[in-house]
């Protein structure tokens, strides 16, 4: 059997992905946003935390292309800094959820005796109200982690863990279904007959062949984590008030919607563009990695 990561298969996947216009557009939008937030300190060197009371609530101008907030801080600089935080939270939380979901899905699909208990655990987590649960976790542990790791690192770790631990269930279900079909395939049965251990079967044969749904789940999990973090920051339960995120900027702009609607428009637009870009990319990945669907 040809390895999933063979150069020929990678080229075929890349050709199918390039033909997906939505995926190309989503990738371009994401690449632009990531480059902007990463290169922000060099492209626009204004300090996002610098307070200039004399320049508060200014409209767009040469000195401040997107205006200033109620404390005179540059909105563009805070947007770029907030993007770094929001995207980092999304990627880290998606990695936590992906790791947990893949582990539980593989164990449930490969070992029959673990299938029932692990799927009931998954059903239990699916029945829990996610946002209230995260709010309770943030309220209970934010002070402890802030004292131990610092106000920024502690809240970052808490939000990443809270989102990741409450969003692994869809990945677990998808991976379990994929593993249930893979473990009955001829190459798995042949490897088992040759004396391959179960750990080697999982790492060498099952996981590489289940990479398609895992990658799609990773992309969708990133979008979900960004939205969840933005909701927490909008409610005032995310990062400290002086630490910009897109959700915090959106929350700070709500009292000024009538006078300065742009202050709410820009962070909201960036959240929407990021989530849409990730969703289009995940859809393109799903179609590109599904050779049977492409052949049809």
Q: pLDDT tens for residues 20-51?
A: 777 788 888 888 998 988 888 888 888 888 88
- How far apart (Å, rounded) are the C-alpha atoms in residues 296 and 286? 14
What is the mean predicted confidence (pLDDT) over 276-292?
75
The domains located in the chain, with CATH, are 18-47+66-295 (1.10.3720.10)
Place of tokens 């492209």: 43
Q: pLDDT tens for residues 95-151?
A: 999 999 999 999 998 888 888 899 999 999 888 888 888 888 888 888 888 787 777
> Token pair of 258, please?
């009538």
**Contact residues for 17 (Cβ-Cβ < 8 A; gap 6+):** 23, 24, 284, 285, 288
Collapsing DSSP to helix, strand or coil, 288 comes out as: helix
pLDDT on residue 294: 42
Q: Cβ(231)–Cβ(130) under 8 Å?
A: no
* ∠ CA 52-55-61, rounded to 5°: 125
DSSP state of 73: -
Collapsing DSSP to helix, strand or coil, 118 comes out as: helix
pLDDT on residue 12: 66
Q: Strands, E, within 122-248: which ranges?
A: none
Spell out the SS3 assignment of 271-286: HHHHHHHHHHHHHHHH
Q: pLDDT tens for residues 58-98?
A: 888 888 888 888 888 888 889 998 888 889 998 999 999 99
């Amino acid at each position: 059997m040809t390895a999933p990561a063979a150069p020929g298969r990678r080229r075929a996947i890349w050709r199918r992905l390039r033909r997906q216009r939505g995926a190309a557009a989503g990738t371009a939008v994401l690449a632009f946003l990531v480059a902007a937030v990463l290169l922000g300190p060099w492209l626009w060197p204004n300090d996002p935390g610098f307070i200039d009371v004399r320049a508060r609530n200014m409209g767009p101008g040469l000195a401040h292309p997107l205006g200033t907030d109620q404390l005179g801080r540059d909105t563009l600089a805070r947007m770029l800094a907030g993007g770094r935080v929001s995207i980092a939270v999304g990627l880290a939380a998606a990695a936590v959820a992906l790791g947990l979901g893949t582990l539980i899905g593989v164990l449930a699909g490969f070992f029959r005796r673990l299938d029932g208990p692990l799927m009931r655990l998954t059903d239990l987590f699916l029945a829990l109200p996610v946002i209230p649960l995260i709010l309770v976790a943030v309220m209970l542990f934010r002070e402890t982690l802030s004292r131990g790791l610092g106000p920024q690192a502690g809240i970052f770790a808490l939000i990443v863990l809270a989102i990741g631990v409450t969003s692994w269930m869809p990945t677990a279900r998808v991976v379990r279904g994929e593993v249930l079909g893979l473990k009955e395939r001829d190459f798995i049965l042949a490897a088992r007959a040759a004396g391959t251990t179960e750990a080697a079967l999982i790492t060498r044969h099952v996981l590489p062949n289940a990479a398609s749904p895992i990658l799609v789940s990773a992309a969708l999990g990133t979008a979900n984590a960004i939205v969840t973090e933005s909701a927490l920051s909008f409610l005032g339960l995310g990062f400290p008030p002086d630490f910009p995120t897109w959700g915090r900027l959106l929350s700070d702009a709500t009292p000024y919607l009538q006078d300065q609607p742009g202050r709410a428009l820009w962070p909201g637009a960036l959240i929407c563009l990021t989530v849409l870009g990730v969703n289009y990319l995940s859809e393109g990945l799903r179609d590109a990695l599904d050779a049977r669907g492409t052949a049809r």
